[in-house]
Amino acid sequence: MQSAREFNFDGLVGPSHNYAGLSFGNVASFSNVKSASNPREAALQGLAKMRELAARGFAQAVMPPQARPNFRLLRRIGFTGTDAEVLARAYRESPVILACAYSASPMWTANAATVSPSADTFDGRAHFTAANLNNKLHRSEEHLQSTRTLRALFADERHFAVHQALPPTSAFGDEGAANHTRFCATHGGKGVEFFTYGRVEFDPSAPAPKKYPARQTLEASQAIARLHGLDSARTVFASQNPDVIDQGVFHNDVIAVGNGNVLFYHEQAFHDEGAVLNALRNALAGVETELTAIRVASQVVPVGDAVASYLFNSQLLTKPDGTMALVIPQECQENRAVARYLEELVASGGPVDELIHFDLRQSMRNGGGPACLRLRVALTGAESAAMHQGVIMTEALYETLVAWVGKYYRDHLEPKDLADPQLALECSAALEELSRILGLPGLYDLT
């Protein structure tokens, strides 16, 4: 067995970060619709998290933002003319579609792809499948750039396979790693891959939410397991609890998180809690690992508090001494039930003995917490040497990126600003310079 480290690839917030209320079923996105955003602060909050975790010795990398606005989308649906004319007409005729073309959402890289480390796959390569995100117009084209970016970062086909997104239809609704967790004894050893879904396309009798959409289907999760060549004895599929989707749990990572042998979850997360725990225990026995389940009861933290605080959208990170830290948003400290629970958790003598909190308010206002902002990629030493090195977070890269943000980012953006042709020019100049900083020429197709 090779040793491996888990890298967290955090999405760098783009220069047009904004609140457009585009995600029906995501409570925060809906309630902050059309409020003013601060792209500069958003980017700096994300960078501060990356810097701190890198400084603590966690393997940390940055995933570049996507080009905005998406002129290809706007032109394809009939907005013609110069770039400035396209923007003016889209703003006049359909400001919501202009907002979709300007969506901030690629910053949540947990939705960029599903990743299976090489220890789990049939050919011993790390496999990635870009998520089609086809439940929402504003996210449905992210996979094009995600595939391009992943292929630029993980170009060496001896080590990596980057699959294109699943067919973009509701039968294959796929939201990437937000509905996927891997359990293992060590990152380099064989693991158990755990897929959660909200709906089954071809079984109308399967549980499904009534009010809000289920974004992930079983069919999509199964397709990814097939593409990655996972061993069925070490793969578990589980239905989310449709009732909690209807309370704002639009991705499973809003109500559960796993790391190593630990599953930290809310008692209402799954349709059949007992069956999920049994399936995980059995699969983990095959890799000589025992599941540690940290279950949070509704009486202690009601689902509403979990959604409001993003307690479970935390990162559970293994520290060098084997204990775990929970990376939480500041909102957890501000919610009385959650703050009290967390105090008990770290004092309990269990695996989690430290809390690391960050102010991620700009992201949280769109429904993205610490876990949404990162894509986990466990890599062996040879694999991490083979990936593109320019995205690895260092103090020097942090400082360069802070200066870059200072040069290009506005500190105030309102819906009407999306029609300003100057903003589009600022975005493309910023990304052109960023691709130089990261050593990724040709990262963007800016034609």
Ligand X SMILES: NCCC[C@H](NC(=O)CCC(=O)O)C(=O)O
CB of 32 to ligand X, least distance (A): 8
Q: Is 138 annotated as a binding residue?
A: yes
* CB of 366 vs ligand X, minimal distance in Å: 4
Nearer to ligand X, 17 or 148 (CB): 17
Cβ 100 to ligand X shortest distance, Å: 9
Structure tokens at 46: 């994300």
Which residue in 175, 331, 383, 426 is the catalytic one?
175
Catalytic residue (choose from 17, 251, 266, 271) = 251
Contact 316, 259 (CB under 8 A): yes
180 is annotated as an active-site residue: no
Going by C-beta distance under 8 Å and a sequence separation of 6 or more, which residues neighbour residue 49? 10, 327, 358, 360, 370, 373
Q: How far is the CB of 7 from ligand X (least distance, A)?
A: 18
27 is in an annotated binding site: yes
Which residue, among 215, 129, 111, has the nearest Cα to 165 in the 3D structure?
129
Distance of CA 372 to the CA centre of its chain: 4
Rounded distance between C-alpha atoms, residue 216 and residue 135, angstroms: 9
Considering the complex, what minimum distance in angstroms separates the CB of residue 3 from ligand X?
30
Please give the C-alpha separations between residue 210 and each of 39, 220, 258, in angstroms, as whole numbers. Answer: 35, 20, 27
Cβ closer to ligand X: 250 or 444?
Answer: 250
The answer to the question of whether 57 is labelled as a binding residue is no
Q: Is 130 annotated as a binding residue?
A: no
Q: Is 236 in contact with 194 (CB distance < 8 Å)? A: yes
Q: Is 336 annotated as a binding residue?
A: no
Nearer to ligand X, 104 or 294 (CB): 104
Which residue lies nearer to ligand X by CB, 180 or 251? 251
Structure tokens at 172: 């294959």
Nearer to ligand X, 375 or 434 (CB): 375
Query: Residue 311: what are its φ and ψ, rounded to 5°?
Result: -50, -45
- Which positions touch ligand X (CB under 6 A)? 19-23, 26, 29, 103-105, 108, 110-111, 139, 178, 250-251, 366-368, 372
CA-based torsion, 254, 368, 101, 446: positive or negative: negative
20 is in an annotated binding site: yes
Beta bridge partners of 293: 263
142 is catalytic: no
Sheet holding 292-296, edge to edge: 256-259, 262-266, 292-296
Catalytic annotation, residues: 175, 251, 372
Q: Detail the residues annotated as belonging to a binding site.
A: 20-29, 111, 138-139, 215, 253, 366
